[in-house]
Amino acid sequence: MSLGGVRIPLLIAAVLSSLVLASSTRAVPAFPGAEGFGANAKGARASSSPTIYHVTNLNDSGTGSLRDAVSVPGRVVVFDVGGLIRVGSPIVFASNLTLAGQTAPGGGITLYGNRVSFSGASNTICRYLRFRMGINGDDGADAVGIANGSDMIFDHVSASWGRDETFSISGDTAIRITLQDCLIAQGLRIHSAGGLMQTSGGVSIFRTLYADNWMRNPKIKGVNDYINNVVYNWGGGGGYIPAGDSVGDSYANMIGCYFIGGPESGAGTSPFKTGNANYRLFHTGNLQDLDLDGVLDGVAVTDSSFSTLQLVGSRFAYPAPTTELSAPAALAWVLERAGASHRRDRTDDYVVAEARTYGTGGVFIYDEADMGGVGTVATGLKQPDADNDGMPDWWEQAAGTNPALADATVLGADGYLNIERYLNALVVGGVPGAFITGITHDTGSSTADGITSDRTLLIRGTAPAVCVCPPMSTCLRCSRDMRSCRRHRRRFPRHSGCRWRTP
């Protein structure tokens, strides 16, 4: 079989085909805008009886804590409090969880002090959380690690201060996983690594910022789709590392990414470490800016950067982003939105500010104290929720559900739980196909004088009934004069152009 212009063994071809098929059959994505291999993660929906769990405090354990929340499968985890959770021992996440960090009030949620594991946590939907390990975490451990499990998506997640890797997926039983719009930064020296992405199970990395990691931004083996990412200020260990000297086979796309050297990189230092011919790479539309002059003036990445790899002429047919950006557009997007950007904390702000210097700012750290520590995160207040089902009263009133009845886990015709519609409305997933930049009053006199002339778009309230009677008052259903059409006239209310009167 041939894939991407390369002949590959039949067994590997079958595995790749199954990955693509499983990820492209996405009747109900994890959330609108979920993309890549992990797009179909079900979260708590994978459970026959999903439940809602409220994180009500910032304790490391006990009732109402995050640790307790994630210890049992089948939960939608919402946050009644924002702030800093100090993690003493590793937290292991169960399967079938929907982790809704976007529900946290105040400054959102930061986990700080030790590592977390999603190994075996199949059907994970994790959004808008920050994982910051730190110098006192387990020695030689990853800030976020996955060794096995399937169908996971991490959206707008921030990870930093890993003592080994910062966010790693390592093991061929880790299958169909997406990182999108994430921020992976400041792996602690001496190791200081962004992470390993080494599985034949399929990993998508879209619109993610890697910054201030000495190496592995990331190091890739196996099946990987690396699109619209930004790498800033890598060190001597390398930026994007294509499998090193691995004897295993790898099949990777690298499309529309921007590589910008920083003070730790050294002027003119390539972001790419060499691999061997077992690494099949399709690359296009990537830019690199290596002069450290503070001016964004990247040049094209060419084949000469990958002289030891096996380059292929067409992209591997993996489940791609709905909207692919140019490298400059990807850079602008990532700097504005990557990580837990619903409310960025001081650490993410610091990293993004460094990247915006385009080569003049950036430093590796040995200890989070080098940059003033984790800082504080505002707690905020829970919104009124009379039935305590995770959907605030204002939302239930607007959505038409009952604020006095706990109906959050009712499954709708669209395939989402009631509470998921609320969660999905709080933040945007992926790159929207269109943006509302303003609303103009629609007088009704023209189909072009305002956005509300498009009746498929409802901003709020009840959509107006559509008058379909023609200017000369002929009923469209029975062709009678509208004045005499008693059967149908009530279905077609008058507008300013109607010429008939109610008898």
Dump pLDDT digits (tens) for 281-322.
Answer: 999 999 999 999 999 999 999 999 999 999 999 999 999 999
Do 49 and 154 fall into the same domain?
A: yes
Residues 117, 142, single domain; the answer is yes
The pair of three-digit structure tokens given for residue 93, joined into one six-digit string: 């996440």
Q: What are phi and psi of 399, to 5 degrees?
A: -85, -10
Residue 106 located in a structural domain: yes
Q: Are residues 352 and 492 located together in one domain of the fold?
A: no
In this structure, how many other beta carbons lie within 10 angstroms of the beta carbon of residue 357? 16
Residue 380 lies in a domain: no
Give a yes or no: residue 250 inside a domain. Answer: yes
Task: Mark whether 23 and 162 lie in a shared domain.
Answer: yes
What pLDDT was estimated at residue 190?
86
The question of whether 67 is a catalytic residue gets the answer no
Asked whether the predicted pLDDT for residue 435 surpasses 80, the reply is no
Instruction: Indicate whether 29 belongs to any domain.
Output: yes
422, 299: one domain: no
Is there a contact between 355 and 234 (Cβ–Cβ < 8 Å)? Answer: no
In terms of Cα–Cα distance, which of 176, 282, 270, 173 is closest to 227? 282
Q: Are residues 366 and 413 in the same domain?
A: no
Whether residue 347 is found in the same domain as residue 451: no
Which conformational region is residue 339 in: left (phi greater than 0), alpha (psi within -120 to 50 degrees), or beta? left
Residue 256 located in a structural domain? yes
For 227-239, how does the pLDDT look when each residue is reduced to its tens digit (9 = 90+)?
999 999 999 999 9
Backbone angles phi, psi at 271, to 5 degrees: -75, -10
Element (H, E) at 22: helix 10-24
- With contact defined as beta carbons under 8 Å apart, do 382 and 390 qualify? no
Q: Are 11 and 72 contained in the same domain? A: yes
Say yes or no: 403 and 352 in one domain: no
> 309: domain CATH number?
2.160.20.10
Residue 92 lies in a domain: yes
Q: Which percentage of the chain shows pLDDT scores above 90?
A: 78
What percent of the chain is modeled with pLDDT above 70?
A: 81
SS3 472: coil
Q: Looking at the 3D structure of the chain, how many domains does it have?
A: 3
CB atoms within 10 A of CB 86: 15
Residue 133: domain span: 2-371
Q: Are residues 361 and 475 in the same domain?
A: no
- The verdict on residue 112 lying in a domain is yes
* Cα separation, 39 vs 25, whole angstroms: 9
The alpha carbon dihedral of 103, 106, 108, 114 has a sign of negative
Catalytic residue among 216, 315, 344, 421: 216
C-alpha span between 323 and 153 (Å, rounded): 18
Specify whether 419 is located in the same domain as 499: no
pTM reported for the whole predicted model: 0.84
Average confidence (pLDDT) over 421-428: 96
349, part of any domain: yes
Same domain flag for 241 and 195: yes
Nearest to 469 by CA among 454, 488, 448: 488
